[in-house]
Structure formats: structure tokens, C-alpha cells
Amino acid sequence: MTRDPDFERLRAALQAPPASDAAAKARAMNRAMAAYEDSALSRQGLTPPLRPLADRAPTVRGASAVRRVLKSLSVKPLLAATTSAAALTVGLVVLLPQSEVQTPGGGPSELAQRSQDMAVPSPAEPPEAAPMMTRRTAPAEAQPERAAESTAAEQGDAATPPSLAAPDSAPMAEGPEAKGFANAGVNPLRVTAEAPVSAFPAKIGTASYALVRSSLMAGALPRPDAVRVEEMVNHFPYAYPAPEAGEPPFRANVTVMPTPWNPDTRLVQIGLQGRLPEVAARPPLNLVLLIDTSESMDTPDRLPLLKQALRLMLAEMRQEDQVAIVAYAGTPGEVLAPTPANQSATILAALDQLETRNPLAETAGLTLAYSLAEGMTAAGEVSRILLATDGDFNLGVDDPEGMEGFVARKGKTGVNLSVLAFGRDALDEAVMQSLAQNGNGSAASVATLNEARKVLMDQLTGPLFPIADEVTIDVEWNPGQVAEYRLIGHETQALQPGQSTTDAAGMGAITAGHQVTALYEVTAPGSPALRNDPLRYGTAVSDAMADAAATGEMAQDAPELGFVRLRYKAPGESVNAVIEMPIVADTGTGPDARFAAAIAGFGQLLRASADLEDWGWDQAITLAEANRGEDPFGYRDEAVTLMRLAQSLAQDAK
Amino acid sequence: MLMDTSDETLALAAASGDHAAFAALVTRHYDRIFGLGWRLTGSRAEAEDLAQDICAALPHRLRGWRAEARFTTWLYRVVVNAAHDARRRAAVRNRAATGWGDWEISRQEAIAEDRAAQDWLAESMARLPVELRDTVALVLGEDMTQAEAGAVLGLSEGTIAWRMSEVKKRLRALATEEAKA
């Protein structure tokens, strides 16, 4: 025992804590008992529950709603495979067949299969996409008209009726809310005569879907402003036809269908598919895993899930690939020196030794990871750091420009950084996105093994091959056919026409296999769904377009609703290339388009959007369920389950 | 009957589904969790939040309890880790809120605020680096031997002894400053 006079004053002070508060203690006891009843421990036992359901805290009532829905569903095995471990305390990691896990290179290549699925259009799709034209223009040509359009768009903004703002009375979520979401009101309706050109970004994240899922699985509706409809729509792969070798790097795919939630408008889906990655010819990859081993990673949906997913990834890696592992915040430092990927026994052993621990000192994890990656890189090879964490970004970087500057500088040396985020409570989306953007990589939230596998497989292929730079996508609407339009989602990133997302982020080539989907709800002139009165005097832009229509530049028998223009630069080139495609009214629609519409509806229901009017959960679920298509990875099945869950929670909240 | 049963027996019973045992265990140890939480954070509100979170997570954690250590040692470890995680989350939040370039500024401001605190205890504790603070909370606050504190923190007894001598140096420096003032 230390009985040192120097310590006595501190000892006395420390040993006189304030008495614990009885009310606080009772609250803690209630939460503990509720958690106990919900835990696997309680279900093992035979003792009946101590307290009735009505007595519990709100979050727990939500969890019981989760169970109710789980019980009511007939697809139990599938559910078990996709349910987050936060809702069911049984680990989902046991569901993998051993053979698939342990044999590197054995079994059918997941990757090849996925590429095939994307390449073959489903039978319900129109056999030929509408004709496309490619031309090359000097960069200067595009500039003056851009400026005029921007001004027009600003005017359109100012004319937005206030009645379209999102209602504030939407049901709120329980649970962690301290995270910073930047998400403004509903994307406004535009009048074509005032702002005929609209733009959407070529890169759309998918983090919002993971967030929505983990929130619903934890038994709470997500906060409406945490829901990003465009990210939810882009979470799903669609079977767009891919460009062939020798064609431009993108292929546009446009469908027009009646809007499910409004019979008087139409829904235009614009899907862009980038050239598929050459799986066989990819350069060797040096992968440094930077793994957060702090105590909070020690739940089944975090470190154990990562280990499982890495095993699967390892099976797809090649002999010339190398893997190194750095841990931070727990077991500090280099856990595995650079090792050829075919020595899977060594790598797996190092993975298994990772243990979460109370961090005792900051480790310079990120610096170490970069120096390892730089040391592994030879000419023609690709190096990537994959940061796996649940929100501890305390990476021990001591840089005057902060971690962001450090990562951006390192990104220029050819080593890029991707972030894989686990769990929900500690996750800080803003930090995660900022790191990945500056590190020239991608960020993804992961809650299930399927998803972890998808994200890791993407690390092996897609992001390795840039196919285009400085991509801008503009859609010009024909005022003769479309009086008003609304880009669904995109509240955070309203782009000016011609503005490139890659400009905005200051980096970021579009890589092979890239896919992006945008949905517009458009209203024809004279439709009862119009929200704005027509302009009495018109505008210069609409007059010019009306003239063009009158002089027969637009064929009347197949009316064009609008025109898609995609501008890009081929990697390493300085001239713009343009891909153009008209939006025609009578395209066929397949299950892909209808499923995307159902997800857009799902997102808008979660955001309590006024645009849906009477259209509700039942309609969204029916539409999604009928259009699941082949769904080889079970993504769409899972979405239907989540929609049912959300419906049940929304009813609870009433 | 339950009140006489050892912690270890109660924990095993709770881990195999005995509600009453779990309830007895939480009732018995809430004050201990709260007390250590206060020693680690220096704030009543934070200690209450921490204790509540720990209680709610206890069923999950108990599954990992193998009766290899004394229950209280294990519980102290849970509290120290939870306090550490909470501190780190708060740090990340602050950084995200103030922007990347402002890390150092906000850290300096936080230090300044701490200095402004009137309480001698708060000042002394705030002067200690985090790992020394954890050690002090256990050795002085909880009256543990250096071996016991080592078991909780996953460190050797020697490391604890070294840390306590560090603490002593810093306390003496503080006393000298006070004498001058």
C-alpha cells in the first residue's frame, strides 16, 4: 500500500465522492434490467421476465417491435443472414460455410460472378439502349453557356414556393443523435422555363442506407434529416448495360415511368454505368490494414465481423499482392510485416491475434501505415490503406494541417486511404467522409457480413482503375414536355449545372465499374400536379427552346422530355469528351427502375416528405417486393424487410 | 440470501439466466461504478451517464465473464475502459465540431477552462495525464494495491509503481507552485 504523505491530500479528496443519486440509480437499474431481458443471457434462462413491457424505456419498446416484425416474417433464414448483430445478440458470423472461408482461390469467383451479373441486361430491360452520340469538344467551348445557365438556376431557386419545405413534426428517432448530419430541406421543385438545366453528381455515397438500416434494426426510426434518398437509391446495384471495349467509358440508361406516388407526374431514372474493371489484368495491390483495436470494437458487429470479411477477401487476393497489418488504440504497432497474400496462414494467424484492449498510449498508427505502404510499393503497383474503425480517429497524427492535410499530402504520393466504419454509436460521418475524400479513397459503413464483403471486394477491383476525370452530368429539360421537375434527394449537394463533383472535392477520378443513378419526378405542362402557374411572359431561354421545337429540331412523334449530357476527360487527357443521350417518353421499364422508385419512396417516407401525399408504406412495400428481380446478394430482400420494420415503428410512433 | 452470496457466484448465475441474481449484482455495485466514474471524470453528471451506460451494457459484457478474475477487478476494468471510450468519443466530437485546423486551439481552451476551476482536486487531477489520472483514481481513490490496480489496467505492478512516482513528482511541483503563489 502506498501511504505516502504526498498523496494524503489527494487520497482524501478522491475518497469523498458525491453520494449517488437515487433517481439516477433507479434509471440505471431499469436500463440494466431491460437490457438483461433483451439479451441472449435472459433467453437462455427459464425465469420469466421481471417487469411488463409497458414499464420499459422507449428504446427497449422499439427493440420489441423489431422482434415482432422478425417473428411475423416467413423468410427466417434469410433474415438471420442479414440482420445486424445489434438487434439479435446471436453472432451472424457463424453462418459462413467453412470451405468458402478457408480455401484461397477455391470456389467460384465472387467477383467474376458480380461482373457478369452487371454485364448481362435482364430480359425485362429494353434490348437496346437509346442511341448515343460521342463527340469531342475543346474545353473552352462549354464555358460561356455554363455561366448563363447558372444564373437561370439561381433564379429558379429564388422562385421556390415555401410550401414545399419539409414538415418539422416528423417522428423522431431515439438513440444516438449527436452526430453531425448536414442535410437541409427537401430538394425544391424547379420550373423548366426558368431553370431548364439540372445537374447531379457523378459520385454518390451510400452511407445513409447503412445508417437507416442500423437505426431500424436498433428499433428506432432514423432522424428524418439523417436520411438521404439519393444515397439509399445508390446503395443497390442495377443491371445497367455496360459499355463495350472501345466505346466511351460510360453508358447512359434512361427509363421513364408513371410516378408511383403521383399519377399526374412521371419518374425519369437516369443510370450511368462505367466501363467494368478488368479483373484479370489488375496491377498488384499492396494493402495495409489499419485496425482500431480499442475496447469498443469488441462487439460481434465490429472486430469479429472485420476478421470474417478479411478472410473472404484474402481468398480473392493473388500471390503478387501483399498484406500488412497495423493496429492502433489497443495492441499498438505493426502486427504483421508485409506478407505475400498467398501466405494466408500467416495472415490469418496475425488477424486472430488481434485483441481489443484499453488503449494505454496514442500510437502513431497512421504514420506507420503510410510508411509501410510506401515501402511496399514498386513500379506499377497500387497501394492502399484500409482504416477499419468504429469512430476512433485518434490516429496519432501530429501535423500542422491536421489529419486531413496529412492524408491529402500522402494521397498525392500514390498511397490512398479508404475508411470502413463499424457500428453506429461512435461513428462520426463527417470525419469519415473527410478522411476518405482527402485520402482519395472511399468510405463505407458496414453492419453485415454481406456488406463488408462487398466493400472489401471493391477495394480489390473498382477503385484501382480510373476511367474518367472531371465528370459533369447535366440534364436539360424540354419545356414543351416538362413544365416542372424535381431531383429526388440531393439536399446536401445541390450542384449548379456544369459543376463537377470531382471539382468540388478537389480530386477523385471516376473508377471502373462505377454506377450512379438519379431520379427526377417531372410534370407535364397542363398536368393537374403542377405546383406553379405558368409564366405569362416566358423567358429568353424558354422562348429559344420553343423556337427550336417549332422549327422541327425536335421530332414530334417521339417527344423528347430532355437531354442528358455527360462531360468528362479521359485519364491523362486535357480535352473534354461528351456523351449525349435524349430522354424519350416511351421507354420500357423493368423491375430495376420500379425497385429504384420503391426505394426512393421508402427514403421519402422516412423523411416524411410531403410529395408523397397519400402514398404510404403498404404501397412502397408492395412495389419493392414485386420488383426484387434476381437479387443475387439478397440486398433487395433485406430492403423489403427494413421497410416492414420501418412501417411497424412508424405505427408505434403514432 | 442473495445479499450474502459472493459476487462471483451471482455473476455466474446471472450469466446463465437468473434475473434475481443479475438485479442483486447491479444493486450491490451501482455505487461502486458511480464512484469510480466520478474519480475518473471528475463530474457527477458524467459519472451518472457513464454508470447508466455501463449498467445497460452489463448483460452483454457478462457473457465475456469467465470467472478468471475477481468480479470487482473485472468490473473496475469495464468502468475504466468505458470512461476512456467516452473521453475519446467526446474528443472526436469536439474535433469534428471545431474543424480540423482548430484541434490545438480547442485543446488549449479546454486546458484554460480547467485552470479556471476553483477546486484543488480538479486542478490536480487535470494536471495529470490521462493514464496517471486512471492510476490515481484506482490506487488512491479506490485504495487498491499496486498489484490490484495493475490487474485492472492490464499493466505490471512495476508500471503502476513508476506511474505513482510520476504522480508524486507532479504533486510536489504543484505544491511548490502553490507555496509561491
Distance in angstroms (rounded) separating the CA atoms of residues B88 and B108: 17
Q: Which residue of A has its CA nearest to B171?
A: A6
CA distances from A426 to A91, A423, A431, A442, A453 (A): 20, 7, 11, 19, 22
Contact between A303 and A93 (Cβ < 8 Å): no
Which residue of chain B comes nearest to A5, CA vs CA?
B168
CB contact under 8 A, B124 and A31: no
DSSP one-letter string for A22-73: HHHHHHHHHHHHHHHHHSHHHHHS-SPPSS-GGGS-HHHHHHHHHHHHHHH-
B117 touching A (Cβ < 8 Å): no
Average of per-residue pLDDT across B38-42: 83
**Residue B68: how many other CB atoms lie within 10 Å:** 7
Residues of B in contact with A25 (CB under 8 A): 30-31, 34, 51
Q: Is the pLDDT of residue B5 over 70?
A: yes
CA-CA distance, A439 to A404, in Å (whole number)? 8
Give the pLDDT score at A349.
86
* B129 interfaces chain A, CB cutoff of 8 Å: no
Higher pLDDT, A361 or B80: B80
Interface probe with A: pick from B79, B87, B92, most Cβ of A within 10 Å? B92
Cell of A167: 414538415
Q: What residues of chain B, 54 to 83, have a C-beta less than 8 Å from chain A?
A: 55-60, 62-63, 77, 80-82
Q: Which of A225, A233, A149 is nearest to A491 (CA)?
A: A225
Measured distance CA(A310)–CA(A457) in Å, rounded: 10
Residue A133's alpha-carbon distances to A119, A331, A497, in angstroms, are 21, 56, 20
Count of CB atoms situated within 10 Å of the CB of B103: 17
Q: What does the DSSP 8-state code read for residue B100?
A: G
Residue A292 sits at the vertex; the CA angle it makes with A291 and A293, to the nearest 5 degrees, is 105
- Say how many CB pairs under 8 Å bridge A and B: 185
Bigger pLDDT: B92 or A388? A388
A95 contacts: CB under 8 Å, gap ≥ 6: A80, A81, A449
Stretches where chain A sits below pLDDT 50 are 1-2, 43-185, 360-362, 425-426, 500-507, 552-556
CA–CA dist A448, A83 (Å, integer): 7
CA atoms within 13 A of residue A388's CA, in its CB half-sphere:
28
DSSP code per residue over A482-519: -SEEEESS-SS--PPTT--HHHHHT---EETT-EEEEE
pLDDT given for residue A548 in this prediction:
55
Q: Which pLDDT belongs to residue A77? A: 40
Three-state SS annotation for A90-103 = CCHHHHCCHHHHHC
Minimal Cα–Cα distance from A207 to chain B, Å? Answer: 18
The shortest CB-CB distance from B136 to any of A10, A35, A404 is to A10
Q: Decide if A450 contacts A633 (C-beta within 8 A).
A: yes
DSSP three-state, residue A179: coil
Residue B48 to residue A24, Cβ atoms within 8 A: yes
Report residue B86 as a C-alpha cell.
467516452
The ipTM, to two decimals, is 0.75
Kindly list the structural domains of chain B, giving each domain's residue range(s) and its CATH number in brackets, ordered by start.
1-104 (1.10.1740.10), 117-181 (1.10.10.10)
Q: What is the pLDDT of residue A541?
A: 53
pLDDT at residue A276, rounded to an integer: 78
> What pLDDT was estimated at residue A192?
86
CB nearest to B168's CB, from A4, A13, A89: A4
Shortest Cα distance, chain B CAs vs residue A12, angstroms:
8
pLDDT at A498: 54
Best of B46, B100, B136 to disrupt the A interface (most A CBs within 10 Å) is B100
Question: Domains in chain A and their CATH numbers?
Answer: 24-95 (no CATH), 98-107+283-460 (3.40.50.410), 114-278+466-653 (no CATH)
pLDDT at B109: 56
Q: Mind listing the pLDDT tens digit for each residue in B99-118?
A: 333 444 454 555 555 444 44
* pLDDT value of residue A401: 61
Largest CA distance in chain B: 60
**Interface test with chain B among A42, A358, A422, A438, by most B beta carbons within 10 Å:** A358
> Rounded distance, CA A645 to CA A125, Å?
30
pLDDT recorded at residue A58: 38
pTM: 0.48
Q: Which three cell numbers stand for residue A487?
A: 431531383
Closest-CA residue of chain A to B35: A17
Instruction: Give the pLDDT score at A271.
Output: 92
Contact between A459 and A418 (Cβ < 8 Å): yes
Residue B173 sits at the chain A interface (C-beta within 8 Å): no
Residues A33, B22: C-beta atoms closer than 8 Å: yes
Q: Which three cell numbers stand for residue A644?
A: 416492414
Q: Smallest Cα–Cα separation from A38: which of B52, B65, B57, B7?
A: B57
Listed residue (A497, A519, A508) closest to A567, CA to CA: A497
Q: With an 8 Å Cβ cutoff, are B55 and A32 in contact? A: yes
Contact in structure between B33 and B76 (CB atoms under 8 Å) = no
What region does B99 belong to: left with phi over 0, alpha with psi -120 to 50, or beta?
left
Inter-chain residue contact A15 with B92, CB threshold 8 Å: no
Nearest to A28 among B52, B85, B88 (CB): B52
